[in-house]
Amino acid sequence: MDDFAPVRAERTFEIIANKVRDQIRDGKLRTGDKLPPEREMAQQLGTSRNALREALRSLEHAGLISLHKGARGGAFITDGNPSAVAQSMEDLMHLGGSNLADVTEARLSIETAIVAIAAAKGTITAFDLLDQNIDQVEELTQARDMDAKAALNMEFHVLLAEATGNPVLVLMMRTLMDLLRSVHRPITAEDTADIIKSRRRFMQLLRNREAAEAAAEMKDHLSRLHDLFSRTEMPDSG
């Protein structure tokens, strides 16, 4: 009878890392908190400093802590690092045979839901920030600052997620934007002009709380990007 798979023993650094994760989950460690000094923490855990360092490096790679050197250095709990999540997603995407068209298809579903919630819950202040973003993109297009424009194009979608007031949606959108940022390509001035026109229409609908129409405008814009990705697999940052 062979019904049981072998049990994998946790390595020491994994046990230590999971103890830190447990304290974060239980609210005992919060953003900005500093972990005990290395020597003291190793003594508390009854482990070697080498195992502790390996655990801290794994937590840093996961985006849960940041490590700083110097007199005021140490290990600090972060507010979450979407870039770390995005890197893991990108690695898994390549290993699993997925492509950027798949990412964009998922983005269509997520962002359509975000638009509906933002239309219902978004504040005037949140909408003003979105309009300011569009104005800045227009100015940067005229100044031909393509890198800054690409960053603002992505930030628009994060601001939209923030308008929902839902931190999970914000994290998801930041992660998607970081994933796209790692491989984005510049877009033409003509493409940018179309994006700006679409966003002006979108914002008018959003301010009017016309959720279905705003979602349709966003879906049309993202569908065009999806078609582009499917043909070229070279993502746009819009």
Q: How many structural domains does the chain have? A: 2
Summarize pLDDT for 178-233 with one digit per residue, the tens. 877 765 555 556 666 788 899 999 999 999 999 999 999 999 988 877 666 555 54
Rg of the chain over Cα atoms, rounded to whole angstroms, equals: 22
List the structure tokens of 34: 């500093």
110 and 127 belong to one structural domain: yes
Q: What is the dihedral of CA 133, 135, 137, 140, to 10 degrees?
A: -130
The reply to whether 178 and 135 lie within a common domain is yes
**Can you name the residues that pair with 173 across neighbouring β-strands?**
none
pLDDT at residue 139 greater than cutoff 50: yes
Residue 238 within any structural domain of the chain: no
Domain co-membership, 68 together with 87: no
**Selected residue with higher pLDDT from 46 and 93:** 46
Task: Report the SS3 class of residue 98.
Answer: coil
198 Cβ contact partners less than 8 Å away, ≥ 6 residues apart: 217, 220, 221
Same domain, 162 and 214: yes
Q: How confident is the model at residue 22 (pLDDT cuts 50, 70, 90)?
A: very high
Lowest mean pLDDT among 52-56, 125-129, 161-165, 170-174: 170-174
Residue 237 within any structural domain of the chain: no
Task: Name, of 4-13, 22-31, 71-80, 101-110, the range with top average pLDDT.
Answer: 22-31
Are 208 and 107 part of one and the same domain? yes
Is 131 domain-assigned? yes
Same-domain check for residues 132 and 24? no
Check residue 103 and give its pLDDT: 76
pLDDT tens column, 96-133: 666 667 777 888 889 999 999 999 999 999 999 999 99
Answer whether residue 149 shows pLDDT above 80. yes
Instruction: Find the domain containing 138 and state its range.
Output: 83-232
Please check whether residues 28 and 60 belong to one and the same domain.
yes
Answer yes or no: is 2 within a domain.
Answer: no
Report the CATH number at residue 129. Answer: 1.20.120.530
Q: What is the pLDDT of residue 92?
A: 65
The CATH number given to whatever domain includes residue 46 is 1.10.10.10
Identify whether residues 150 and 164 lie together within a single domain: yes
**What per-residue confidence (pLDDT) applies to 233?**
46
User: Is the per-residue pLDDT at 27 higher than 80?
Assistant: yes
Res 238: pLDDT:
61
Give the pLDDT confidence score for residue 85 in this predicted structure: 66
Residue at 139 is within a domain: yes
Statement to judge: residues 142 and 190 lie in one domain = yes
Alpha-carbon distances, residue 212 vs 75, 127, 187 (angstroms): 46, 17, 28
pLDDT given for residue 193 in this prediction = 76
